[in-house]
A and B are shown apart, each in its own frame.
Chain A
Amino acid sequence: NAGVTQTPKFRILKIGQSMTLQCTQDMNHNYMYWYRQDPGMGLKLIYYSVGAGITDKGEVPNGYNVSRSTTEDFPLRLELAAPSQTSVYFCASSYTGTGAYEQYFGPGTRLTVT
């Protein structure tokens, strides 16, 4: 099991560019999440998905979009990148079927927008 994988690990974007952060999990988890973590701050939920074809906004969704066409994949799209989107992005997944809500995290993508 690879768990949760994310690509790329690092990326530098210019203002106004777009990119997609990839996330894949091989644990057959139903829930998937995208968080951002700014220095010295807690994790902020961007979007989440409770299953294939279903997504919903979190606390800070502006400037981002997601899709969930399969159980395994949950890409995050940044349109028109802005310096405020400089952050570390974590994808996570969990299985809620047994009442265990532990979230498993990918290694993160460090994004700089200049």
Chain B
Amino acid sequence: GQNIDQPTEMTATEGAIVQINCTYQTSGFNGLFWYQQHAGEAPTFLSYNVLDGLEEKGRFSSFLSRSKGYSYLLLKELQMKDSASYLCAAMDSNYQLIWGAGTKLIIKP
């Protein structure tokens, strides 16, 4: 079957670094997405990885290992506004997204 696993909740301190892990199992694979979702709002796109390696975009980076079925989202220099849920989604062979339940990130001052 198809499955995405990510931690339910994480806590970090303002100014620190946090890594949110995601493992996936899909029928075929066409890439891994990370979205940010603030409470009561729609998801917004953060990153897309289809090749192995690290993609850096400002304070956010995303890593993919296709052989391990593993990805992580790295957030640096955490700010209070980064408090949100982070959704991992894998694209299967039909180009449909399989979504994880999301990781709620709590930032403390």
Contacts and interface: CB of A to CB of B under 8 A. Distances in A.
Contact of B42 (A45, A100, A105): A105
Contacts of A101: 30-31, 33, 48, 91, 95
A104 B45 contact: yes
A57 B19 CA distance: 35
Contacts of A41: 101
Contacts of B11: none
Main secondary structure of the interface of A (DSSP, over half): loop
Contact of B100 (A42, A48, A104): A42
Contacts of B97: 43, 45, 103
A105 B38 CA distance: 13
Given A101-B30, A104-B45, A43 B95 contact: no
Interface string B14-34: 000000000000000011010
A88 B64 CA distance: 30
Contacts of B100: 42
Contacts of A97: none
A90 B35 CA distance: 14
15 contacts: A40-B101, A42-B87, A42-B99, A43-B43, A43-B87, A44-B99, A101-B30, A101-B33, A102-B48, A103-B45, A103-B97, A104-B45, A105-B44, A107-B41, A108-B42
Interface of B: 4, 8, 30-31, 33, 41-45, 48, 87, 89, 91, 95-97, 99-102
Interface of A: 40-45, 48, 58, 90, 96, 100-108
